[in-house]
Amino acid sequence: MSKLAEKVQQELIQAIENDELVLPTLPEVALKVREAAENPDISIPNLAKVIGNDAALTARIIKVVNSPLLRTNREITDLQMAISRLGINYTCNLATGLAMEQMFQATSDVIDRKMREVWNKSTEIAGICHVLCRHYTRLMPDQATLAGLVHQIGILPILTYAEEHNELMTDSISLNHVIEKIHPIIGEKILRAWEFPDLIAQIPGQYLDFTRNSEKVDYVDIVQVATLQSYHGTQHPYAQVDWSQVPAFAKLGLDPNQSLHEDEDLSAAMEAAMGMLQG
């Protein structure tokens, strides 16, 4: 590891340990949606009012409900109809995840590009998570989608830090190294600070442990398999991982010798799921 990467890593870890690292806060609309979701008596019109204050998010929810994966017989153009079709829990998880896109913006071009790259990767993995969850588990697709959208959230404070430290912006190898090493620790801290449920909060810290073997299939397994599937056939180091040695594949009942993309129906479903999540 370069001297620079080491220095940054030490500074960031120290800041985390001393509780000095400024963790990002959820966008206001996501906070309000979370608050609404905690109310057992929340009605569809009330939830629509909360989400409806954010035009971009409203458009995204309507786009999801009309995607080929969830499409109904007729096009849905109204937010209340979209919520009643998706269900309140599904809508809340989706709205929380999608609202985070607002956080992936920076003032410098270099960091802004990197943030968009991270967000695009997160939506790609979230789309694969959605499909894996529906086809291979009895877990909730909305939770799996949210898991995919938040699993790299720990990269945000690192990029914000890089924006304030010019030397990191010009050394992409060091920057990538720092990201790889510490985004899992920071990510889990952020999700716990946001009071996400444990089954989601543990994901950033555990999804890159390819030897992990929990008792039964969970959202970490789904994000792990989705991550490996997303790098299949690339030059990325994760493409070198031997899937037959990753317990998550067996837990999902997947053949470790076969990419999901080889199955036409699943490949089409993944394309549709990624498409519905991208802006």
pLDDT of residue 152: 97
pLDDT of residue 69: 83
Stated as kind and residue range, the H or E segment containing 247 is: helix 247-252
- Coil, strand or helix: which one is 53? coil
CB 183 within 8 A of CB 261: no
pLDDT of residue 1: 59
Per-domain residue ranges of the chain: 3-24+103-277
Dist. CA 33–CA 37, nearest whole Å = 6
CA dist 204 → 67, 108, 142, 192, 253 (Å): 28, 26, 17, 11, 23
Q: pLDDT digit string (tens) for 142-198?
A: 999 999 999 999 999 999 888 888 877 777 788 888 899 889 999 999 999 899 999
Average pLDDT over residues 235-247: 95
Tell me how many helices (H) and strands (E) the chain has: 16, 0
pLDDT above 90 as % of the chain:
69
Please write down the HEC assignment for all residues of 186-222: HHHHHHHHCCCCHHHHCHHHHCCCCCCCCCCCCHHHH
Q: pLDDT digit string (tens) for 2-60?
A: 777 778 878 888 888 888 877 889 999 999 999 999 999 999 999 999 999 999 999 99
Of 133 and 168, the structure prediction assigns the larger pLDDT to 133
Q: How many CB atoms lie within 10 A of CB 51?
A: 25
Q: Over 90: is that where the pLDDT of 129 sits?
A: yes
The highest-level CATH class for domain 3-24+103-277 is mainly alpha
Q: pLDDT digit string (tens) for 61-111?
A: 999 999 888 877 789 999 999 999 999 999 999 999 999 999 998 888 989
Please state at what angle helix 109-136 crosses helix 155-164, rounded to 10 degrees. 180
Sole residue written with tokens 């003032």: 107
Dist. CA 1–CA 5, nearest whole Å = 6
Dist. CA 61–CA 66, nearest whole Å = 9
